[in-house]
Amino acid sequence: MHHFEYHNGELHAEDVPLSKIAAEVGTPFYCYSTATLVRHYNVFAGAFDNHAAQDKPLVCFSAKANGNQAVLTTLAREGAGIDVVSGGELARALAAGVPGERIVFSGVGKTREEMRAALEAGIYQFNVESEPELEALNDVAGSMNVKAPITIRVNPDVDAQTHEKIATGKAENKFGISWGWARDVYARAGAMDNIQIVGVDVHIGSQLTSLDPFAAAFRRVAELVQTLRDDGHTIDRLDLGGGLGIPYDELTPPHPDDYAHMVAQVVGNLGCQLIFEPGRMIAGNAGILVSDVIYVKQGENRRFAILDAAMNDLIRPSLYDAHHGIIPVKAPDSSSTYETYDLVGPVCETGDTFAKNRELPVLQSGDLVAFLSAGAYGAVMSSTYNARPLIPEVLVNGDQYAVIRPRPRIEDLIGLDRIPDWLKD
């Protein structure tokens, strides 16, 4: 469910007409709904309300999905923690006022500098992904005279049944510690002076549309928890990662309540505090990308709607063949006629194609269209390819809206470059 709907013949974000925002900030732009962000967070967190686990679950929004300070602050005020994967995301979470004890740090390549910053911030846990990382963390923590709280991310060798570029739980993926080695690595971690084992972590992929792969992975994790406890380790926390999909097209992913029910069945009797790292499920449908039709071009055998948004603004279709719903900002009515379009951007690559053969009410130059489900992995993955400045982000809250990242001027972009001495004069 989201808060982008037609009222009075045009698409609104909550109570604000998108044409109004377009007139003020120009196109293209990302627009997020506070009500949707808050609702999704609470639906997810609320699904675990009745769990018998010893502590309240910690829901850490995955900042990689959408790291804007205003988005993080909105969620932090609801009580969300943050899952970070870099020093930059850690800094963003802290700047948004998220306390260290609500931050978890994932990722295969944490540097010593990043470890130090995270230890200084007193984060809740590091999800460690390799033995060399474990050694480095022990070292850094030792130099600071502290103990680093860790889980080990295990790779359960489960097929997440999602796009290969976002599947992470198979043995051939770079993530986690191989299933068969986990016990040995825990033994090594247990013997390290500046490492404190607190739990187990798993994350098998993103945009999962079935509960089965989750259940298969969590069952393996549950077995491992028993084994590790028998080995004498203290396992109080289970970080079950993110990954719950959203409905981009006809696929209907499981509801968080069903996910929570499955989690309770599979790991509920372990007495662990549960940690989750949802990204897309919270932010995906809370954002849209609004773009203007520059030209409608008739090709030999297809009609192209050339938009002012491009693959550098929203790369998901070109990188993952991802489907995004695309709708006109002006509401279609019974008199509308429809045409079939390929929706493309101005970037000089054939890959700059958002969708092919989409039926839309007849489009004309100057019409606005909205890409749905663009709130996660949209703005954060954008680039300035073709010298296109990053596009603005706008947050709506009821009848208010604010630009939460302004559009840089092209001069700002050019001004980042430096001319070496030998090229001056």
Binding mask 276-315 for ligand LLP (x = CB under 6 A): -xxxxx----------------------------------
Report d(CA 193, CA 147) in Å as an integer.
Answer: 8
The reply to whether 83 sits near ligand LLP by the rule CB under 6 A is: yes
3-state secondary structure of 210: coil
The full DSSP string for 219-282 is HHHHHHHHHHHHTT----EEE----B---SSS--PPPHHHHHHHHHHHHGGG-PEEEE--SHHH
DSSP state of 398: T
- Least distance (Å) between residue 243 CB and ligand LLP: 4
**DSSP β-ladder status, 303-307 and 338-344:** parallel
Residue number, 83 or 393, with CB nearest to ligand LLP: 83
User: In the set 213, 242, 256, 375, which binds ligand LLP (CB under 6 A)?
Assistant: 242
User: For residue 304, what is the enclosing H or E element?
Assistant: strand 303-307
Residue number, 87 or 190, with CB nearest to ligand LLP: 87
The reply to whether 106 sits near ligand LLP by the rule CB under 6 A is: yes
- Nearest-Å Rg of the Cα atoms of the chain is 23
Binding mask 41-80 for ligand LLP (x = CB under 6 A): ---------------------x-xx---------------
Segment near ligand LLP (CB under 6 A); pick from 89-97, 229-237, 241-249, 301-309: 241-249
Stretch 374-393 residues interacting with ligand LLP (CB under 6 A): 376-377
Active site residue 348: yes
The reply to whether 146 sits near ligand LLP by the rule CB under 6 A is: no
Q: Which of 261, 185, 271 is nearest to 226 (CA)?
A: 271
Distances, alpha carbon 17 to alpha carbons 35, 228, 283, 313, 396, in Å:
15, 55, 20, 22, 10
Residue number, 225 or 314, with CB nearest to ligand LLP: 314
Report d(CA 212, CA 192) in Å as an integer.
Answer: 36
User: In the set 3, 12, 92, 203, which binds ligand LLP (CB under 6 A)?
Assistant: 203
User: In the set 34, 74, 151, 207, which binds ligand LLP (CB under 6 A)?
Assistant: 207
Binding mask 115-134 for ligand LLP (x = CB under 6 A): --------------------
**Per the structure block, which two tokens stand in for 306?**
């050339």
The reply to whether 202 sits near ligand LLP by the rule CB under 6 A is: no
Q: Which of 57, 50, 44 is nearest to 1 (CA)?
A: 44
Segment near ligand LLP (CB under 6 A); pick from 41-49, 199-207, 224-232, 351-359: 199-207
Q: What dihedral do alpha carbons 149, 78, 324, 370 form, nearest 10°?
A: -140
Binding mask 252-281 for ligand LLP (x = CB under 6 A): -------------------------xxxxx
271 alpha carbon, distance to own chain's centre: 28
Active site residues: 348
Task: Note the residues at the interface with ligand LLP (CB under 6 A).
Answer: 62, 64-65, 83, 106, 166, 203, 206-207, 241-244, 277-281, 316, 320, 376-377
